[in-house]
Amino acid sequence: MSFLANPLFLQFFVPLITVAFTIFLKVVSRNDNFKRFKKDDLAVGLEIAVTALILFITESANLAQELSTQTGQAIPKIVEKLTVAPWIILAFVLGIWGVSSMVRWVGWKGNDDLNIGWGIVAPDLFGLLLLFFVVNWIR
């Protein structure tokens, strides 16, 4: 149990497990006629970014509910987080939209061939950064 409480688990293993599980689901969900792993299966960044956005919105809603029941010293910290939450949500939405547009414009080499750099690595790093941010925000 102490492993789960370790900050390294939350900051490193949770995002890593999330990415690995998302890739696994993409591969095993494919039609049985196409079992072969493709490099496009590694393109999970936007899905992870949307997951991070949902986690952030859920945590913000929990903070708002907590604010209605809190008294004392915890209130200023909750209010501070809730004050910036709409701006962070807006930044998430604009970032996801921007990365999606980037993939559409420069992320493809051909009709069915993602560019490794702009189509896979950049969006995956973006998704991981957002997930890392949210995990630390919740802590």
What is the rounded distance in angstroms from the CA atom of residue 27 to the CA atom of residue 64? 38
Q: pLDDT at position 90, please?
A: 98
Instruction: Read off the tokens for 98.
Output: 């921007």
Q: Supply the Cα-derived Rg of the chain in whole angstroms.
A: 18
DSSP state of 36: S
**Residue ranges of the chain whose pLDDT lies below 50:** none
pLDDT digits (tens, 9 = 90+) for 45-61: 999 999 899 999 999 99
What is the rounded distance in angstroms from the CA atom of residue 104 to the CA atom of residue 114? 10
What is the rounded distance in angstroms from the CA atom of residue 41 to the CA atom of residue 37? 7
Instruction: Tell me the whole-structure pTM to 2 decimals.
Output: 0.82
Q: Is the dihedral of CA 73, 75, 76, 80 positive or negative?
A: positive
Q: In 12-121, where does DSSP find H-type helix? A: 14-28, 45-69, 74-106
